[in-house]
């Protein structure tokens, strides 16, 4: 894990430094004097040789000092902490929708293989895999906001609906804060705002989970133990409920974990479209303005999360499949 993080940190540092443009211009503003430029370069260490900048960067990173954002003038770690709850809630909601909808669809499609409902579900999954995220997001905005006016267009919550004074908890996670504080109106308002961006992100992953669930269920139904159960009069649904689902858990959990990482990358576009105040939107603005410390900080965070997810997937294998414990 340490080796992987070191490689990611090093590659990110070099790639960011190769981006065109001078990030100091973001600090000094328009028409700076030569003295202002030199002072800013000295303050941020950009006047030092690249290898010295790299060594200084590694020392700060080890001590969890990700530097100061050139754009907001605030510590990068503070900016990430402030925006992480919004991104986590969005990704968690999207993943939850994908699992709740995708897995049952996959099982039903396998049980009804070749029938109309199977064809319908497969077509739906193909749409999820093929539709561009930005196109789907705009269609949902047009239909459910512009035409039907069911859900808000953008944002995480309505300014008039959510008041920090109404909540007992102040974790930054709106759903937890409002739920445990009993603020039902703010909870429902936040739920309305997350539906469109969450559905946009869930649509593609739903298609992936559907296909892997359908395929593994069909393979399980062709296994000798499954045919033995059927010989003794058990129905397909009963066999899957009792033991058949266990054979599908490992590939499904693998894909689900990797999809969670995929969703983190998808937040860059979705949060920008829906004006969602999360890390993805912060990253896009940082890239556009060549905010080196912010870009590096977000990359390190996402890499760490992705590694942790894979670690927990490996632990889940041990729980799901007893043979791995031997």
Handedness of CA 87, 138, 199, 114 (dihedral sign): negative
The pLDDT of residue 197: 92
- Look up residue 151 and give its DSSP letter: S
Q: How far is CA 228 from CA 5, 213, 223, 232, 233, in A?
A: 48, 22, 9, 7, 9
CA distances from 304 to 2, 8, 257, 299, 320 (A): 10, 9, 14, 9, 24
Q: Which of 321, 186, 162 is nearest to 248 (CA)?
A: 321
> 31 — alpha (psi -120 to 50), left (phi > 0) or beta?
left
Please give the C-alpha separations between residue 131 and each of 151, 179, 180, 316, in angstroms, as whole numbers: 21, 34, 37, 32
All domains of the chain, ordered by start, with CATH? 2-62 (no CATH), 80-281 (1.10.3720.10)
Question: For residue 290, which of 6, 78, 16, 12 has the smallest C-alpha distance?
Answer: 16
What b-and-e string marks burial along 7-43, b requiring 16 or more CB atoms within 10 Å of the CB? ebbeebbeebeeeeeebbebbbeeeeeeeebebbbee
Question: Cα-atom radius of gyration of the chain, to the nearest Å?
Answer: 24
| 3-state DSSP assignment of residue 68 | strand
Cα(125)–Cα(184) distance, rounded to whole angstroms? 34
Q: Per residue of the chain (326 residues), give pLDDT as tens.
A: 567 777 777 787 777 777 666 666 666 666 777 777 777 777 666 777 777 778 877 777 777 777 788 788 888 888 888 888 899 899 999 989 988 998 888 888 888 888 889 899 888 888 888 888 888 888 999 999 988 889 888 888 876 545 555 555 567 778 887 877 777 888 888 888 899 999 998 888 888 888 888 888 888 777 777 777 676 777 777 767 666 566 677 777 777 777 877 787 778 888 888 988 889 888 888 888 778 888 888 888 888 888 888 777 777 766 666 666 55
Alpha helices, DSSP H, located in 181-291: 184-221, 224-231, 236-239, 246-273, 279-288
Output the pTM of the full model.
Answer: 0.80
In terms of Cβ atoms closer than 10 Å to its own Cβ (0-12, 13-18, 19+), residue 147 is: exposed
Angle ∠(3,288,309) on CA atoms, nearest 5: 35
């Amino acid at each position: 894990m340490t080796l992987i993080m070191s490689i990611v940190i090093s590659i990110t540092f070099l790639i960011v430094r190769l981006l065109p443009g001078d990030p100091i211009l973001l600090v000094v503003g328009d028409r700076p004097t030569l003295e202002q430029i030199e002072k800013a370069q000295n303050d941020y260490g950009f006047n030092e040789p690249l290898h010295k900048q790299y060594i200084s960067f590694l020392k700060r990173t080890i001590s969890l000092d990700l530097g100061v954002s050139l754009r907001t003038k605030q510590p990068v770690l503070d900016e990430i902490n402030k925006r992480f709850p919004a991104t986590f809630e969005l990704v968690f909601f999207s993943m939850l929708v994908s699992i709740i909808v995708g897995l049952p669809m996959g099982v039903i499609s396998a049980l009804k293989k070749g029938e109309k409902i199977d064809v319908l579900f497969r077509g739906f999954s193909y749409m999820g895999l093929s539709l561009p995220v930005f196109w789907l997001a705009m269609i949902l905005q047009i239909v459910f906001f512009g035409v039907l006016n069911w859900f808000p267009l953008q944002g995480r919550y309505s300014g008039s609906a959510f008041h920090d004074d109404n909540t007992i908890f102040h974790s930054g996670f709106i759903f937890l804060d409002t739920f445990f504080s009993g603020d039902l109106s703010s909870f429902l308002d936040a739920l309305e705002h997350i539906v469109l961006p969450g559905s946009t992100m869930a649509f593609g992953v739903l298609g992936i989970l559907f296909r892997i669930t359908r395929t593994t269920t069909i393979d399980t139904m062709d296994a000798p133990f499954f045919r033995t159960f059927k010989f003794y009069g058990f129905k397909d649904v009963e066999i899957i409920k009792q033991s058949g689902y266990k054979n599908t858990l490992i590939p499904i959990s693998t894909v689900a974990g990797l999809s969670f990482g995929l969703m983190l990358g998808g937040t860059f576009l979705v949060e920008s479209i829906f004006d969602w105040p999360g890390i993805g939107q912060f990253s896009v603005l940082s890239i556009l303005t060549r905010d080196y410390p912010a870009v590096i900080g977000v990359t390190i965070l996402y890499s760490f999360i992705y590694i942790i997810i894979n670690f927990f997937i490996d632990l889940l294998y041990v729980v799901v499949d007893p043979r791995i414990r031997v």
